[in-house]
Amino acid sequence: MTSNIINGIYAITPDWEDTRQLIIKTEELLLNKINLLQYRNKKVSKQLRMTQAKELQALCHHYQVPFIINDDYELCGILNADGIHLGKDDITIEEVRNRLGNDIIVGISCYNDFERVNKMMATNCDYIALGACFPTKTKPNAPHASLNFLENVVEISIKPVVAIGGINLDNCVPIINSGVNAIAMINALYSTDKVSNKILEIKRKFING
């Protein structure tokens, strides 16, 4: 089931404080049929995160798009979100399952670490994320995951694979052609005025890649 959910365009929110701007832009993405949305905001207060997450979740429910929370298992539990995405320094998969149940989608960052990929194959996470594929303003010091690394992981992975990090319309074709299930993007979606055209072009590349 998760294999069918984790596919296509995986949008991740930017660190915007302006909730209205965030909601307007996100609804534009949802109208143009992104496949998943992850709420990630490292720069605002806990109270504002709750406010933004509630509004985004309501939008996602309306458009029937899975809503995933980055890192914050407490927020995820309060909202009963569809999923959570975890990094290497976050709560463990086992703790998430114990706290939030087995139905929640759990994604795991594996960076460019093949050993971590193999370890995650033996867990009950639902998908793995690899990156950064390209330099990114969001995480300028993120380790680089090469195209060759992506291809090798896709070949052995028994779980859906998401590519992340600096992916945009100009560089997404080789990433899509590597066989990943989804590409995650922040700035490429939220910083453009031509969302409809961009999403349509990326979806075509998934179909034609």
**Any idea of the CA torsion for 106, 112, 113, 114, to the nearest 10 degrees?**
90
Q: In terms of Cα–Cα distance, which of 123, 82, 88, 128 is closest to 108?
A: 128
| Residue type present at position 18 | D
Residue from 25, 49, 109, 157 carrying the catalytic annotation? 109
Residue from 33, 54, 116, 139 carrying the catalytic annotation? 139
User: Is 196 one of the annotated active-site residues of the chain?
Assistant: no
Residue from 25, 40, 159, 198 carrying the catalytic annotation? 40
d(CA 121, CA 191): 34
User: Is 40 one of the annotated active-site residues of the chain?
Assistant: yes
Q: In terms of Cα–Cα distance, which of 162, 169, 188, 164 is closest to 29?
A: 188
User: Is 139 one of the annotated active-site residues of the chain?
Assistant: yes
**Any idea of the CA torsion for 66, 67, 69, 74, to the nearest 10 degrees?**
-110
Give me the active site residues, please: 40, 109, 139
